[in-house]
Amino acid sequence: MPKMKVYQLTKVFGKQPELALKLLAEGRTKEQIYKQTGQSIGVNQVSFEVEEGEIFVIMGLSGSGKSTLIRLCNRLIDPTSGSIEIDGEEIVDMKASALREVRRKKLGMVFQNFALFPQRTVRENVEFGLEIQQVPPGLRQEKAREALALVGLTEWENAYPDQLSGGMRQRVGLARALANNPDILLMDEAFSALDPLIRKDMQDELLELQMTMKKTILFITHDLHEALRLGDRIAFMKDGQIIQIGRPEEIMADPADEFVRKFVEDADLSRVLVAENVMKRAEAITPDKGARVALQLMMDNGVSSLYVVDKKRTLLGLITAYDVSLAIGTGDSLETIMKTDLPTVSPDARLHSLFPMMADLHVPIAVVGEQQRLLGVIVKGAVLGGLVGKVNVQEHQRAEVMSDGRRA
């Protein structure tokens, strides 16, 4: 079951939302409805699901409705129609008291301009969520200190927010959201107000925290690089609608429309694509075969080297055509002639991290998974191909924008 399920969520700003909804159902566009009724559609029939432990990024320019959308998710803004389920529980029609409980226990929020309380110390800020749940002071101080330790601000607990730098303030904002130990973090342009370098640090820190915390994170941004760095999946928003949902490399490789294409054109593909996306099938042989078989295999496949693997496809070494042809004369086994000192990378290594490696290598790079299992091989041509948009996107991970019938 998805952690969070949003279905056909719509927000109309105006006095006669029913009328606007009716027109939307008739298929009118946002502009037509604005012209006809003067009401604006903030979020237009948006559906998506967020899986547990996933960072789901909603990416869009200003005015695309992304900030409205995240506020609909905890009902800081009440939706006009549609449904939001958290852990299978509908929150759209929830009473105020039940909604407060959900906000207290399940949802933490981090704001663009930090929204720290200036008259409270750092620790008192972090305690806020627990304080309003009437957690006793001793316990909530302890939890606040734990949260501050997570973001590395232990020594600042008695400082006031105006004594901190922007990056530190947002760490306090993050700690405040984490102190309640919510399942879901809503992050509204959380790093957008920070300097680029500090923003990058914060992104790294969030990813690092996420490795241990495994929160479900809904992250709003207008920065494509941020979306690509952080997102397990990205939803592109424009004019209140979601245009495309997919993993970063899918969106890069297969943009749904001109708008997304223009957006991703500027992105540095080498920072998005991973080894897995560009690797080729690796030709391999088991060590019990002889040199002649190896040479034949090379000729059949048109390659000048072969990986040597055992029955479980564990990588043992590499043999080249030259060594094999010598071995045919001497009768050496493949195991004695293979090179064992090989460059390897994991399937999720970013392409840009491979460039220095490839520059001084004359052999291909092996992509190995757990227990040195050979998954594929990276050759220079494939990397260049990846950079111009030829990538392996497996069928099952294809972008999926949910259609109306999906819910049933």
Q: Which residues of the chain form contacts with other proteins (CB under 8 A)? A: 71, 74, 76, 100-104, 107-109, 111-115, 117-120, 128-129, 131-133, 160, 176, 180, 186
Query: Is 222:62 a contact under the CB 8 Å cutoff?
Result: yes
* Nearest distance from C-beta of residue 70 to other proteins, angstroms: 10
* Nearest distance from C-beta of residue 165 to other proteins, angstroms: 18
* Nearest distance from C-beta of residue 118 to other proteins, angstroms: 7
* Nearest distance from C-beta of residue 286 to other proteins, angstroms: 59
* Nearest distance from C-beta of residue 313 to other proteins, angstroms: 50
380, two tokens: 């220079």
* Nearest distance from C-beta of residue 96 to other proteins, angstroms: 9
Residue closer to other proteins (CB basis): 100 or 406: 100
Residue closer to other proteins (CB basis): 82 or 129: 129
* Nearest distance from C-beta of residue 141 to other proteins, angstroms: 16
With tokens 């009716």, the residue in question is 22
Residue closer to other proteins (CB basis): 46 or 187: 187
Residue closer to other proteins (CB basis): 128 or 259: 128
Determine the length of the chain: 408
With tokens 């190896």, the residue in question is 294
* Nearest distance from C-beta of residue 24 to other proteins, angstroms: 27
Residue closer to other proteins (CB basis): 105 or 262: 105
Q: What angle do CA 285, 290, 292 make, to 5 degrees?
A: 100
Q: What angle do CA 353, 355, 360 make, to 5 degrees?
A: 125
Contacts of residue 10, defined as CB under 8 A and 6 or more positions apart, other chains included, come to 21, 24, 41, 43, 44, 45, 46, 79, 80, 81, 82
Query: Is 7:83 a contact under the CB 8 Å cutoff?
Result: yes
Measured CA to CA, the distance from residue 144 to residue 178 in angstroms comes to 9
Helices (H) and strands (E) in the chain, counts: 17, 16
| Strand ranges across the sheet with 4-13 | 40-50, 4-13, 81-86, 89-90
The amino acid sitting at 69 is L
Reported as type and span, the H/E element at residue 70 is: helix 66-73
Contacts of residue 43, defined as CB under 8 A and 6 or more positions apart, other chains included, come to 9, 10, 11, 65, 68, 69, 72, 79, 240
Residue closer to other proteins (CB basis): 117 or 355: 117
Measured CA to CA, the distance from residue 262 to residue 400 in angstroms comes to 20
With tokens 């970013």, the residue in question is 350
Residue closer to other proteins (CB basis): 118 or 405: 118
* Nearest distance from C-beta of residue 186 to other proteins, angstroms: 7
Residue closer to other proteins (CB basis): 118 or 329: 118
Neighbours of 63 (CB within 10 A): 12
* Nearest distance from C-beta of residue 111 to other proteins, angstroms: 5
With tokens 């409270």, the residue in question is 120
Residue closer to other proteins (CB basis): 15 or 261: 15
Long-range contacts, stretch 32-36, CB < 8 angstroms, 24+ apart: none
Residue closer to other proteins (CB basis): 171 or 176: 176
